[in-house]
């Protein structure tokens, strides 16, 4: 049953007019600065759309949340953003909301509930749904508003997020600002159906189309939407039909638009319409309105003058706040202590993973597991088997087959204070969520200058040797290392699997935790006493004097097999398990290579662009003078992974290939 929710009182008409005029004056001034070349980057004006921003935010409390778009200045100001700090950000100054790191498209003010503008079309919609999930799980009576343009309504992220929000009845209002144009393409040419709003019908949620240039209609519809959201416990989709008075961005001269149509919309300017309505209804006088305009103009001028005195951002700040919790090079590594009899139990890799998850979930209710088929089925590789009976469906959540939505909701819910543990069934599928990883999880802490954290773990299995074929056998761990802002962890032993996952679950950074399919049933000693293994510390799992084998994940097994074969021929190979690819322990590998004077890297990802090349370059830099043999690499051949066992064996690493490569390296030594 729904209930009547007491909404905050609306601001008086003059205050609403002031907010609209502030947006107009701010953007007009800053657009001029941009065209004059005095602002870095581009500029996306929302002139002509002020009624949507102000009308939507008029009924929000400070604790309600907003997720915005690349055209977000108006939303930010309507939510209570500070004119000076916003202006300083556009100038690229440290006094700005993102200290100059975000610029016009990437601003956040969590203290006032503005959870970020976003440069990716549609990218913020799943994030908004994730924030709404966090509100619901924390029993907060707040709502999220997700602003997006008409172009975003044709993105998969829109449909995945709306479906998930509808399934779980999340407290989010999706507001499409349909300004008629996706950059230079008319919306009518690329959008099917009677309206964008009608797409809500497919998901069984309330929807409404409204005049986005009529401030009072927007206020009424959003206010009703918030009330219906509480009554129906379901999201709402609103489409605000409006008009973008300027070009798409600074360089757009608007030559593609019909001048008569532009004139018709200009006659419906939302600021002029509301001004006239206040005068005609005797709700304000010309003198009062003029006074508001003078006041705002003075504030804009004062902010502008203040910004002219600001110093440029210091170059040394460019590399700060990439990570919410930095690596600790001298952190104690408990896994280096040998386990004594009675201190450990032999456990399978999957059991060690589940133990780490259970311990975190038992300790803190903010943790929950989120992924495809993880409940009764226990996950594709059974890591969550038996957990549903203990934790229930609130904390073990079966999701749709929607990888972008899974990761996007994890991002948003982590931003909102939860600790999601997402699961992507096969690592190959992580590419479907790459936008949320690359442009959202990895970047938010940095581009918002540390105001937002994304403490989430995405678990996923990688690897071949099972005949699954090209789309279910890839190792994309090396690819992820090219994303600053994300930790990438690839444990080999059951002990490391538990200890590293325990650490990752307490990380303040997003983590992709990569598990190899061939390791799930592998057994090894796991301490009875829980331990946390620090990230970024490689482990020497076999000492040797003649050559170093640097490997990760299942390749450590092959490297050890190769080392045993080599030992029979009098060649003692040292095997280094990287354990993490980000942070990457270059030092331990370089020191080992310096001792043995030779190095072979062993990875299952493809040869070209793999992490082995990075290690080789690092060792050349750190230990070149000690090497007396060329650094060689063993990796998957640069072809897709075939299914037939004979073909798969032909292109993937093996112990025999490692042995042959070691002998080649040592032959070159002379």
What lies within 8 Å, CB to CB, of 9 at 6+ separation is none
Say whether 403 is catalytic: yes
Strands (E), 251-399: 344-348, 367-371, 396-398
Q: What region, left, alpha or beta, does residue 321 occupy, with left being phi > 0 and alpha being psi -120 to 50 degrees?
A: left
Distance set, CA 517 to CA 268, 473, 539, 640 (Å): 61, 9, 21, 18
| Cα distance between residue 497 and residue 533, in whole Å | 9
Catalytic residue among 159, 472, 516, 606: 472
Query: Which element (helix H / strand E) includes 457?
Result: strand 457-462
Catalytic residue among 160, 177, 372, 403: 403
| Cα distance between residue 44 and residue 614, in whole Å | 39
Which 3 state secondary structure label does DSSP give 64? coil
Instruction: Return the residue matching tokens 């990716």.
Output: 120
Query: Which element (helix H / strand E) includes 512?
Result: strand 511-516
* 253 secondary structure, DSSP code: -
* 492 secondary structure, DSSP code: -
| Cα distance between residue 210 and residue 524, in whole Å | 62
Q: Are 522 and 352 in contact (CB under 8 A)?
A: no
* 109 secondary structure, DSSP code: B
| Cα distance between residue 387 and residue 340, in whole Å | 30
Q: Are 146 and 387 in contact (CB under 8 A)?
A: no
Say whether 472 is catalytic: yes
C-alpha triplet 540, 546, 549: angle, nearest 5° = 45
Q: Which residues of 69-86 are buried (b: 16+ CB within 10 A; e: fewer)?
A: bbbbbbbbbbbbbebbbb
Six-digit token string for 641 = 């992974």
| Cα distance between residue 454 and residue 507, in whole Å | 9
Query: Which element (helix H / strand E) includes 662?
Result: helix 655-669
C-alpha triplet 417, 421, 425: angle, nearest 5° = 145
Active-site positions read 403, 472
């Amino acid at each position: 049953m729904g209930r009547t929710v007491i909404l905050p009182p609306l601001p008086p008409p003059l205050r609403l007019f002031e907010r609209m005029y502030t947006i107009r004056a701010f953007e007009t001034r800053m657009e001029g600065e941009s065209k004059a070349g005095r602002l870095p980057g581009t500029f996306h004006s929302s002139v002509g759309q002020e009624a949507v921003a102000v009308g939507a935010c008029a009924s929000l409390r400070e604790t309600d949340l907003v997720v915005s778009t690349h055209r977000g200045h108006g939303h930010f100001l309507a939510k209570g953003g500070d004119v000076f700090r916003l202006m300083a950000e556009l100038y690229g100054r440290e006094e700005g909301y993102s200290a100059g790191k975000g610029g016009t498209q990437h601003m956040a003010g969590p203290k006032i509930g503005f959870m970020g503008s976003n440069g990716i079309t549609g990218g913020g919609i799943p994030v908004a749904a994730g924030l709404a999930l966090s509100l619901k799980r924390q029993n907060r009576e707040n709502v999220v508003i997700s602003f997006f343009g008409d172009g975003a309504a044709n993105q998969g992220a829109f449909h995945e997020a709306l479906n998930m929000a509808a399934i779980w009845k999340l407290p989010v209002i999706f507001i499409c600002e349909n300004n008629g144009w996706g950059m230079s393409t008319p919306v009518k040419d690329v959008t099917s159906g009677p309206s964008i709003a009608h797409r809500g019908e497919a998901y069984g949620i309330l929807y409404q189309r409204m005049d986005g240039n009529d401030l009072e209609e927007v206020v009424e519809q959003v206010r009703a939407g918030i009330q219906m959201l509480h009554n129906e416990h379901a999201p709402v989709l609103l489409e605000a039909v409006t008009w973008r008075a300027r070009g798409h961005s600074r360089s757009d001269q608007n030559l593609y638009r019909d001048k008569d149509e532009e004139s018709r919309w200009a006659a419906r300017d939302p600021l002029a319409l509301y001004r006239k309505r206040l005068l005609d209804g005797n709700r304000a006088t010309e003198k009062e309105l003029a006074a508001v305009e003078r006041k705002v103009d003075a504030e804009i001028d004062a902010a502008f003058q203040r910004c002219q005195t600001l110093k440029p951002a210091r170059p040394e700040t460019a590399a700060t706040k990439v990570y919410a919790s930095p690596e600790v090079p001298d952190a104690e590594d408990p896994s280096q202590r040998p386990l004594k009899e009675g201190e450990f139990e032999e456990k399978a890799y999957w059991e060690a993973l589940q133990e780490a998850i259970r311990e975190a979930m038992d300790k803190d209710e903010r943790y929950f597991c989120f992924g495809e088929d993880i409940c009764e089925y226990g996950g594709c590789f059974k890591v969550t088997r038996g957990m549903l009976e203990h934790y229930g469906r609130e904390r073990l959540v079966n999701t749709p087959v929607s990888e972008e939505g899974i990761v996007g909701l994890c991002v948003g819910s982590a931003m909102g204070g939860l600790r999601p543990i997402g699961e992507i069934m096969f690592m190959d599928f992580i590419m479907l969520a790459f936008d949320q990883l690359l442009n959202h999880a990895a970047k938010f802490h940095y581009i918002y200058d540390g105001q937002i954290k994304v403490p989430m773990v995405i678990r996923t299995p990688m690897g071949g040797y099972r005949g699954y074929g090209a789309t279910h056998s890839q190792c994309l761990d090396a690819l992820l290392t090219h994303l600053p802002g994300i930790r990438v962890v690839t444990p080999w032993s059951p002990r490391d699997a538990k200890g590293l996952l325990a650490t990752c679950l307490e990380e303040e950074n997003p983590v992709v935790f990569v598990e190899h399919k061939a390791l799930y049933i592998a057994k090894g000693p796991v301490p009875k006493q829980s331990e946390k293994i620090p990230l970024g510390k490689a482990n020497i799992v076999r000492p040797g004097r003649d050559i170093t084998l640097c490997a990760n994940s299942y390749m450590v097994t092959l490297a050890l097999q190769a080392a045993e074969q080599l030992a029979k021929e009098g060649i003692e190979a040292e095997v280094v398990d990287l354990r993490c690819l980000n942070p990457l322990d270059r030092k331990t590998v370089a020191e080992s290579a310096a001792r043995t004077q030779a190095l072979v890297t062993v990875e299952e990802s493809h040869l070209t662009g793999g992490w082995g090349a990075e290690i080789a370059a690092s060792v050349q830099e750190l230990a070149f003078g000690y090497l007396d043999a060329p650094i060689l690499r063993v990796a998957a051949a640069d072809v897709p992974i075939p299914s037939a066992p004979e073909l798969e064996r032909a292109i993937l690493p093996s112990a025999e290939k490692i042995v042959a490569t070691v002998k080649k390296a040592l032959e070159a030594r002379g």
